[in-house]
Structure 1
Amino acid sequence: MRMAAWRRAGGAVLRLLVVWAVSTLTMLVLAGVLPDFRLQSPDGDTATRIAITAALGAGAFGLLGALVWPLLVRALLLVPALVLGLLVFFLNGSLLWLALGLIPEGRGEADPQTAVVVAAAMSAASSAASTFLAVRDDSAYRRRLARLADRRWRRAGRRAVPTAPGTVFLQLDGLGHDVLCDAIRPPADRPDGEPLMPAVAALCRDTHRLTRWHTDWSSQTGASQLAILHGTNEDVPAFRWFEKETGEVMVSNRPSSAAELQRRAVARTGDPGLLAHDGASRGNLFSGGAAQAALVLSVSARRGRHNRSRAGYFAYFSDPANATRTAVSFTAEVVREILQALRSRLRGERPRVSRGGLYPFIRAFATVVERDVVVAAVLGDILSGRTAVYADLVAYDEVAHHSGPRGRDTHQVLRQLDRAVALIAQAAERAPRPYRLVLLSDHGQSPGEPFAARYGLTLEDLVRVGCGLPVSRRARRSATGAEARTTARAALHRPEDGPGAEPHHVTGPGPVVLGSGNLGLVSFPGIPGRASREEIERRHPALLRTLADHPGIGFLLLHSETCGPVVVGADGGEHRLDTGEIVGKDPLAPYGPLAADAVRRTAGFPHVADIMVNSALDPATGSVHAFEEQIGSHGGLGGEQSRAFLLSPLLLSPPEGDGEPVGAEQVHRVLRRWLREAETAPAMTAPFFPDRVPLR
């Protein structure tokens, strides 16, 4: 035992010396190529003296990084997370400048700009060396993880590691069942080639079961995730909607709205949520009742020590290597998006939406910063032995909105997500308790040209035309429902009612028109309660036919004083939902056999709009027309957006014995059942990952 302890200590010292040597060599190389960076006195020094100076500087820089960097990050808790990411280079450069000042006789010197470059290069080199050594020495890597897990466990005040399995639910936001199936197959032109997502393909092939599930009419994260985590999405008709009694516009990814939706769900079910027992919520709109939350919008205003939503940023950035790596990747992703958008424009690709302004930074936030922070938080939860973890990775959804569900840009994102899945699975193999990894999505995405681009006017313009109201000649861009956009605003501490934010309240008698993917909502504030079909026709005789007969619109949901909820389509076609009676051509026929039940359920919501508008569907291509500026959209019925997936271990019971789950509330019941199965699973006495597959 004593010999083994000495061997471990010797290995640790050796790894430290190797990293120190790599940092020293990096500093020497940089001193030789950068004119404003020197490691010698003005009169010159011998090579040996310069090497000693570099070693002293590298050692001082490493020591300051280990001791001072966490204190700097903690002191900057009030700095917005994205700003902190941009400050990484400055802070790192400041530490290097300070380290050079500690070298005796003033032999180290660099101007501020050069210090930033040198610090970034040295952090990258030392991080690469540490990673290489950890990979080469698997036993050392296991011991490090074990120590970290034990430290996290004791910090959480736990007395013993549970032997029952824990569960990690990893949501790949917006990734539809059909797109996933394509991503886990070998390329068509290379049957023996590697699929786009090899780690997920290995799970599907060896240890997991892939099941499709069908979303509600509102096929978007707000409705799906609220039901998955809290058991109900009652009265969530869309991503955004207007509530007449308060005059407020509810937006699912607005922090105040998310908090209210979560409060309503808890009050309706009487249950705090899926994650109430020793759970963690990472990167979600809602907490699921978890005591540990990071990057969760519904609790983003909290300031408690353990449930502060933004604490995950600082836990991640407290490591200077993490901070530097993410900052470099963030910059590279911004450049990549600018080049990809330019290529799309030069090639004249259609359909295409605007990708300028702040979008490159929002994309980089979703695909780099949020991904890295969420994955790091999940790894920490696994190493601390938490019972249930639910995390959302929004990268694919954000990029697919602007590049299309099957664009070349999204292929790169899918590869990155696959690597994240592999990393989490590998960490679970070394966890202090067994873990079951469940992958799922909250909805898919359907391709198609935006409504305004295809027909030259927005849905609001069309409504105003039907009401005989003037239409503004000034082009208007509709707000996007992408989840990452508001998460980025929260990270930047930008207020909900600041410039660029969506309005909270609506004033004036005119119609309120909102878009939620290819689902539109029209409300009349001047008509108390739900406006009936007959009342709308009396006030605006041309409106309903203008909408129903438009080629870009598939159907309308109205409430009739005589026959209750009714779906109206082109050429006078109707589907009366209470009786099932169909007049003329059924407007719901192109949307599949589940459409009528989904629309009927929404028709009973208290805050359903006076007119619910679903865009047309091309049955041959599955394309729809978003009422937002998106070429990959979700939010209504039509195409792949309504087909999500569950990828669960074979050792768990099948999601549904009677067929594919329908509705997010049913998915919640399935996940509840799996957590109960974990509680009663046979006890294990050693760390064990039951879904072990060879992941790279």
Structure 2
Amino acid sequence: MTAWRNGGAALLRVLAVWAVGTLTMVLLALVLPDFRLQSADGDSFTRVGVTAALGAGCFSLLNALVWPWLVRALLLVPALALGSLVFLLNGSLLWLALSATPDGRGTAGPGTAVVVAAVMSVTASATSTFLATRDPGAQSRRLRRLAGRRASAPARHSVTPGIVFLQLDGIGYDVLCEAIDGDRPVMPAVAALCGTSHRLTLWHTDWSSQTGAAQLAILHGSNEDVPAFRWYEKETGEVIVSNRPSSAAELQRRAVARSGVPGLLAHDGASRGNLFTGGAGQAALVLSVAARRRPGQRSRAGYFAYFADPANAARTAASFLAELVREVGQALRARLAGERPRVSRGGLYPLIRAFATVVQRDVVTAAVIGDVLTGRTSVYADLVAYDEVAHHSGPRGRDTRQVLARLDRCVDLIARATHHAPRPYHLVLLSDHGQSQGEPFAAAYGHSLEELVRIGCGRPVPRQPRRPETGAEARGAARVALHRPERPPEPPGAANGEGAAGGGPGGRTAPVVLGSGNLGLVSFPDLPGRASRQAIERRYPALLRTLAEHPGIGFLLVDDERHGPVVLGAGGAEHRLATGEITGHDPLTPFGPGAAAAVRRAAGFPHAADIMVNSSVDPRTGAVHAFEDQIGCHGGLGGEQTRAFLMSPLALSAPAGELAGAEAVHEELRRWQREAMAQPAQRAGAPAPAAP
């Protein structure tokens, strides 16, 4: 009897979706002048309805049988181009469906066919979703369609829980607390988790408070010798950039060699939307494998699974266009209101923002749902939407509140998907860093860090300032999705607009100056190894004092021949890290009690720059000055950027106090994996035991 009832319910849902598709086709025929469902002489309404029903039925059948093969045939097409081709191909299927109607009653122009096909796909998907709300089996099938999974795909049934690690990129501990607080929280789904089944804890990042360093350590157990988002390596003469595929692959290789283990996800894991794989056998939308072509290791594979459903493509395209309009309107409002601080939001940024807040978000969410429904043991995914918008709008702007609300819906969707999985799941939410707000260094002081270094070196300042650099994970992911070739490595001095034989006193090579949020790096290519404080002062006597005395700079890190790593501040202040000896006021005091340990660790990195520069911080507001063109920034010390969050289930043991450094987070996640494997079955959302 149960089988008969299920079969009858499924048949009723098919008939309901068919009826809605028929009605949609009739209404579109009444509205669109280039779309017709009757003969030239006219037909009765009944005849028109029959024609629409035949057309809708044929269109649905073609979508079910032909569409998956069309998508498979386009695997070499750039991922985002596939999203555009979806509409053309879907329109072609509609044209074929109309050609099957008797006596040529169904006709549509090429452009109209695309519009009709998109509307019908969305209405069919919306109807299925509505009908599935009260039917767990139908809801599971809907989630499978969203994830691009076939119902026949094998699932890994297990009584032990799996874990989904969902990284909400750039959301700091303090911002999250505000978003889940109050009677009407910005993130109600996350607030519900925190109030019932999860605990919220704070963890402190390393000095390099950015995704490259944090995620490398979280996934692979080591971020040794990752001093910043981008840095110069003297032995190769190249600049390593964390969101460049070749750099990400090299960083992952080094981390695996240091840690001696493949990664957090090595056992039946999946990596989605990350910079690194974590050793996962299934990696999609992952930067470090962007150039690979092995099965299961295509970085863009998740896009094809997602766009295999025309309804997904239509919804995402509509949201993409809406996000473009929203960004243009918000940027215009900020300009007219004279908001400060403010950065340029033109060029490619509106497209990058729409990609991060719509395409990457939707595809990664769908990929995680697919992994959950397949029953993978561990899944780690990164949603970069907030981080990208906060760089340009600030960590607490109206724009970012809207992004937080949409990310909350993604969390809710993934949490609900765990109820339809073949095994129980724990959901762990975490961030890789926070963000600190402040006016960019160049806007606040009228010159960039590069120009200040040139002044201190006695070098001429270019009349045409170099375009401010910016770094964010979404830009690298967008280039991969568009199948764009990687930019060649920068030669020495390229970051300063000069070649390797750049001019200057004595024909010396120009210093390489790079920014990573409010962390700056100055390297001298023609000084071998790590240039000491004494060597720098002999070459450029005024440079260190020029930098240390600047009001926008909080401290410098240099290597002293006598005292080892030394932190320099204004007024001749020094903090000798090896002994803890302090001369004058301690330059690290405004940056918190953990600053000395974080800086001391980075000072031992082989590729630490000759001069590491951290901007100043306002002790009252936590504001810093990014050396990139960003309002909200991260990468160094100061403010909320080093305060990340970890939200874990009460069913797992609590962290032993506040964690310091991303490597400590990795050890905590590994411990939870071991605990999960030893636990009896327990569904996500079930009553949890009291916290130990």
Superposition TM-score tier, normalisation by shorter sequence:
over 0.9
Partner of 2:118: 120
SS of 2:474's equivalent in the other structure is helix
Q: Which amino acid aligns with 1:555?
A: F
1:29 to 27, 30, 33: 27
Q: Deviations over 1:228-267 (max 9, x none)?
A: 0100000000000000000010001111000000000111
Partner of 1:161: 157
Q: Which amino acid aligns with 1:446?
A: S
Structure 1 segment 406-425 matched on structure 2, within 5 A: 406-425=396-415
Residue 148 of structure 1, CA deviation: 11
Q: Answer whether contact 1:280 1:381 (CA < 8 A) is retained.
A: yes
SS of 1:623's equivalent in the other structure is coil
Q: Answer whether contact 1:446 1:632 (CA < 8 A) is retained.
A: yes
Give distance in 1, aligned partners of 2:221 and 2:139: 39
- RMSD of aligned C-alpha atoms? 1.9
Question: Is 1:359 equivalent to 2:349 in the alignment?
Answer: yes
1:177 to 156, 161, 173: 173
Q: Answer whether contact 2:204 2:658 (CA < 8 A) is retained.
A: yes
Partner of 1:75: 73
Q: Deviations over 1:319-373 (max 9, x none)?
A: 1111111111111111111111111111111111111111111111111111111
Q: Answer whether contact 1:353 1:630 (CA < 8 A) is retained.
A: yes
TM-score by length of 2: 0.95
Partner of 1:447: 437
2:490 to 477, 500, 503: 503
Partner of 2:282: 292
SS of 2:365's equivalent in the other structure is helix
Residue 93 of structure 1, CA deviation: 1.9
Give distance in 1, aligned partners of 2:608 and 2:38: 73
Partner of 2:504: none
Residue 287 of structure 1, CA deviation: 0.4
SS of 1:481's equivalent in the other structure is coil
Residue 505 of structure 1, CA deviation: 6.0
Structure 1 segment 475-514 matched on structure 2, within 5 A: 475-497=465-487, 503=490, 507-508=500-501, 509-514=509-514
Residue 301 of structure 1, CA deviation: 1.3
Give distance in 2, aligned partners of 1:451 and 1:282: 34
4+ residue segments displaced more than 6 Å? 143-149, 151-154
Partner of 1:641: 641
Q: Which amino acid aligns with 1:579?
A: T
Which range is displaced more, 518-527 or 299-308? 299-308
Gaps in structure 1 of 5+ consecutive residues: 187-192
Q: Answer whether contact 1:433 1:688 (CA < 8 A) is retained.
A: no
Residue 413 of structure 1, CA deviation: 0.6
Question: Is 1:95 equivalent to 2:83 in the alignment?
Answer: no
1:340 to 322, 330, 341: 330
Partner of 1:6: 4
Structure 1 segment 356-435 matched on structure 2, within 5 A: 356-435=346-425
Residue 87 of structure 1, CA deviation: 2.5
Instruction: Return closer, same or farther for 1:689/1:400 CA change in 2, 3 Å cut-off.
Output: same
Partner of 1:189: none
SS of 2:133's equivalent in the other structure is helix
Instruction: Return closer, same or farther for 1:50/1:264 CA change in 2, 3 Å cut-off.
Output: same
Partner of 1:221: 211
Question: Is 1:316 equivalent to 2:303 in the alignment?
Answer: no
Residue 431 of structure 1, CA deviation: 1.5
Instruction: Return closer, same or farther for 1:366/1:98 CA change in 2, 3 Å cut-off.
Output: same
Q: Which amino acid aligns with 1:649?
A: P
Residue 556 of structure 1, CA deviation: 0.4
Q: Answer whether contact 2:440 2:628 (CA < 8 A) is retained.
A: yes
Q: Answer whether contact 2:274 2:287 (CA < 8 A) is retained.
A: yes
SS of 2:514's equivalent in the other structure is strand
Q: Which amino acid aligns with 1:298?
A: S
Give distance in 1, aligned partners of 2:423 and 2:685: 8
Residue 563 of structure 1, CA deviation: 0.8
Q: Deviations over 1:136-161 (max 9, x none)?
A: 43454357779999x879745x7x62
Which range is displaced more, 351-360 or 611-620? 351-360
1:262 to 252, 255, 269: 252
Q: Which amino acid aligns with 2:220?
A: H
Q: Deviations over 1:171-228 (max 9, x none)?
A: 0000000000000111xxxxxx311111111111111111000000000000000000
Structure 1 segment 591-670 matched on structure 2, within 5 A: 591-656=591-656, 659-670=657-668
SS of 2:296's equivalent in the other structure is coil
Q: Which amino acid aligns with 2:100?
A: L
Question: Is 1:239 equivalent to 2:229 in the alignment?
Answer: yes
SS of 2:527's equivalent in the other structure is coil
SS of 2:363's equivalent in the other structure is helix
SS of 1:382's equivalent in the other structure is helix
Partner of 1:276: 266
Residue 83 of structure 1, CA deviation: 1.5
Q: Which amino acid aligns with 2:628?
A: E
Q: Answer whether contact 1:497 1:504 (CA < 8 A) is retained.
A: no
Q: Deviations over 1:59-118 (max 9, x none)?
A: 121112112221221111111111122233222222222222222211111111222221
Residue 690 of structure 1, CA deviation: 3.7
Percent of matched pairs sharing the same residue: 73
Q: Which amino acid aligns with 1:429?
A: H
Q: Which amino acid aligns with 2:37?
A: L
Q: Answer whether contact 1:553 1:615 (CA < 8 A) is retained.
A: yes
SS of 1:353's equivalent in the other structure is coil
Instruction: Return closer, same or farther for 1:603/1:688 CA change in 2, 3 Å cut-off.
Output: closer
Give distance in 1, aligned partners of 2:29 and 2:146: 36
Give distance in 2, aligned partners of 1:275 and 1:414: 27
Question: Is 1:197 equivalent to 2:193 in the alignment?
Answer: no
1:56 to 22, 42, 54: 54
Gaps in structure 2 of 5+ consecutive residues: 494-499, 502-508
